[in-house]
């Protein structure tokens, strides 16, 4: 279901504003047309779980757990695969460019049957694959190692019980096969990202044992090599979670080591580090050691709260590092947040557009900044960095939206609200 793209801002106003902006950028050696061409080719992987508060479509109902928490009760969340896809369609129509959708194993279509996680099949994702193919979208995937009775005590792949470990190993192995099927069917490598909640609320007596078990489980999960053309494996570290404040088995150091040793991609989630730690700085630090990086772009407020991504200094810094170090070919960008306090379609659109805007800012960086640094002119570097903040990026962004046939400026809200009115009434019987 496409939403209407009517009521955009006066196109001639944005076209002429862009004319001036283009000339201003040309003054500082930046080609805005070239920047927009690059931006148009950067896909953002949209997290399906923002659309239904991380519930999924399994028949069992389990609490979310694993340290993940969704707050808010905005009406109209998607309850079925078709509803979720129609909401994703509505969001994608308002985000410029061609993108990807990131699925979790719990979002399979199980035909009302109780299919447990260790029985997952590519067939459960046929509906998603067909939908993505029709729209030219790529798909990414994640095993779901939470919201399940066998994860209720907060341990999965590192569990002390071998039977529980085997269950999750089987789930993760099958998840990679789903990723492979997605990549093959769509002709674009699926990133299958593994995150587990394992950790401890209080000081563990044994920090090493769980890590040894996790390593062994991971080796079993990744035992079958899959063609990287179709499936790429990523592992996601974390500093702490609610209920795992004192110890996280899959910490940054653990997974960095594992990824380097085993040639896995490293997933860096912007919410998973100490608030004063710079994720942007990590990109160049790991660049020569891991084959690629999956970014989970999120926004933590005081903790890993997964707020909707906005155009913060941190986001600008992350995007800048990806672009400035020529990492676009080996970094995949995905969103990872879940907020039920505002309209869920809007949450996707706000976050994706913020990330794209940050990438645009990076693509429009005046080359004189780097040149000043290379010449040892640190005064010039700082002065030019500050002056660059005042360049007319907004006009270039508006032009991009216009070229990509999505609403310019806040006009997307009108289209989003039309979709919202229709579905909220359908889903709740109430008019919004």
Least distance (Å) between residue 304 CB and Zn ion:
9
CB atoms within 10 A of CB 224: 10
Q: Mark whether 253 is an active-site residue.
A: no
Q: Mark whether 195 is an active-site residue.
A: yes
Least distance (Å) between residue 154 CB and ligand RNT:
13
* Residue tagged active-site, from 304, 321, 339, 402: 304
Least distance (Å) between residue 91 CB and ligand RNT:
17
Residue 233 sits in the site that holds Zn ion (CB under 5 A): no
226-234, 240-248, 289-297, 367-375 -> range binding Zn ion (CB under 5 A): 289-297
Least distance (Å) between residue 376 CB and ligand RNT:
41
With the C-alpha atoms ordered 360, 362, 365, 367, is the resulting torsion angle positive or negative? negative
Output Rg (C-alpha) for the chain, integer angstroms.
Answer: 22
C-alpha–C-alpha distance, residues 281 and 422, integer Å: 44
Nearer to ligand RNT, 217 or 424 (CB): 217
* 61: CB partners within 8 A, 6+ apart: none
Nearer to ligand RNT, 8 or 296 (CB): 296
Residue 24's Cβ-count burial label (10 Å; 0-12, 13-18, 19+) is: middle
The entry of Zn ion, ligand RNT, none that residue 233 binds, CB within 5 to 8 Å by partner kind? none
Site for ligand RNT in 226-245 (CB under 6 A): 236, 238
Q: Which residues on adjacent β-strands are paired with residue 101?
A: 46, 139
* Residue tagged active-site, from 128, 131, 168, 195: 195
Site for Zn ion in 297-336 (CB under 5 A): 336
64-72, 197-205, 294-302, 365-373 -> range binding Zn ion (CB under 5 A): 294-302
* Residue tagged active-site, from 140, 269, 314, 339: 269
The entry of Zn ion, ligand RNT, none that residue 142 binds, CB within 5 to 8 Å by partner kind? ligand RNT
Tokens (6 digits) for 15: 């076209």
6-14, 19-27, 202-210, 295-303 -> range binding Zn ion (CB under 5 A): 295-303
C-alpha–C-alpha distance, residues 277 and 304, integer Å: 13
* Residue tagged active-site, from 52, 58, 140, 336: 336
Do 290 and 259 contact (CB within 8 A), yes or no? yes
Nearer to Zn ion, 348 or 400 (CB): 348
When CB distances to ligand RNT are compared, the closest residue is 195
Site for ligand RNT in 324-353 (CB under 6 A): 336
Site for ligand RNT in 244-273 (CB under 6 A): 269
Q: Mark whether 238 is an active-site residue.
A: yes
Residue with tokens 């360049």, as numbered in its chain: 391
Least distance (Å) between residue 26 CB and Zn ion:
39
# residues contacting Zn ion (CB under 5 A): 3
The correct pick among 57, 107, 195, 400 for binding ligand RNT (CB under 6 A) is 195
The entry of Zn ion, ligand RNT, none that residue 230 binds, CB within 5 to 8 Å by partner kind? none
* Residue tagged active-site, from 306, 339, 365, 398: 306
Do 91 and 415 contact (CB within 8 A), yes or no? no
The entry of ligand RNT, Zn ion, none that residue 53 binds, CB within 5 to 8 Å by partner kind? none
The correct pick among 25, 42, 49, 211 for binding ligand RNT (CB under 6 A) is 49
Q: Mark whether 269 is an active-site residue.
A: yes
Catalytic machinery residues: 195, 236, 238, 269, 272, 296, 304, 306, 336
Contact residues toward Zn ion (CB under 5 A) are: 269, 296, 336
Contact residues toward ligand RNT (CB under 6 A) are: 49, 54, 68, 142, 195, 236, 238, 269, 296, 304, 336
């Amino acid at each position: 279901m496409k939403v209407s793209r009517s009521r955009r801002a006066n196109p001639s106003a944005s076209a002429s504003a862009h004319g001036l902006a283009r000339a201003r950028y040309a003054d500082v050696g930046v080609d805005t047309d070239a920047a927009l061409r690059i931006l148009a080719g950067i896909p953002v992987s949209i997290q399906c779980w923002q659309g239904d508060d991380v519930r999924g479509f399994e028949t069992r109902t389990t609490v979310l757990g694993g340290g993940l928490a969704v707050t808010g009760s905005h009406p109209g969340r998607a309850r079925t695969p078709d509803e979720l896809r129609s909401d994703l369609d509505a969001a994608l129509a308002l985000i410029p460019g061609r993108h990807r959708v990131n699925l979790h194993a719990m979002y399979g279509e199980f035909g009302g049957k109780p299919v447990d996680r260790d029985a997952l099949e590519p067939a459960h994702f046929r509906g998603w694959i067909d939908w993505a193919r029709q729209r030219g979208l790529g798909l990414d995937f994640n095993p779901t190692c939470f919201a399940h009775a066998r994860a209720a005590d907060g341990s999965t792949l590192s569990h002390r019980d071998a039977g529980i470990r085997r269950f999750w190993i089987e789930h993760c192995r099958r998840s990679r096969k789903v990723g492979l099927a997605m990549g093959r069917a769509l002709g674009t490598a699926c990133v299958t990202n593994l995150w587990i909640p394992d950790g401890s609320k209080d000081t563990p007596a044994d920090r090493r044992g769980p890590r040894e078990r996790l390593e062994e489980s991971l080796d079993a999960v990744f035992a079958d090599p899959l063609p990287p053309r179709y499936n790429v494996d990523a592992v996601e570290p974390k500093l702490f979670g609610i209920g795992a404040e004192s110890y996280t088995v899959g910490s940054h150091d653990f997974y960095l080591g594992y990824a380097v040793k085993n040639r896995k991609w490293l997933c860096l989630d912007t919410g998973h580090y100490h608030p004063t730690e710079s994720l942007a700085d990590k990109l160049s630090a790991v660049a020569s050691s891991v084959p690629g990086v999956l970014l989970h772009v999120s926004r933590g407020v005081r903790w890993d709260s997964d707020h909707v991504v906005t155009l913060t200094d941190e986001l600008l810094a992350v995007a800048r590092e990806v672009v400035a170090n020529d990492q676009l070919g080996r970094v995949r960008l995905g969103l990872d947040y879940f907020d039920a306090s505002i309209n869920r379609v809007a949450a996707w659109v706000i976050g994706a557009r913020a990330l794209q805007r940050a990438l645009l800012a990076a693509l429009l960086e005046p080359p004189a900044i780097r040149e000043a640094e290379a010449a040892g002119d640190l005064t010039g570097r700082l002065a030019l960095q500050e002056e660059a903040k005042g360049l007319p990026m907004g006009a270039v962004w508006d032009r991009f939206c216009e070229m990509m046939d999505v609403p310019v400026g806040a006009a997307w809200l009108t289209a989003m609200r039309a979709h919202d009115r229709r579905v909220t009434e359908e889903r709740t019987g109430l008019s919004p």
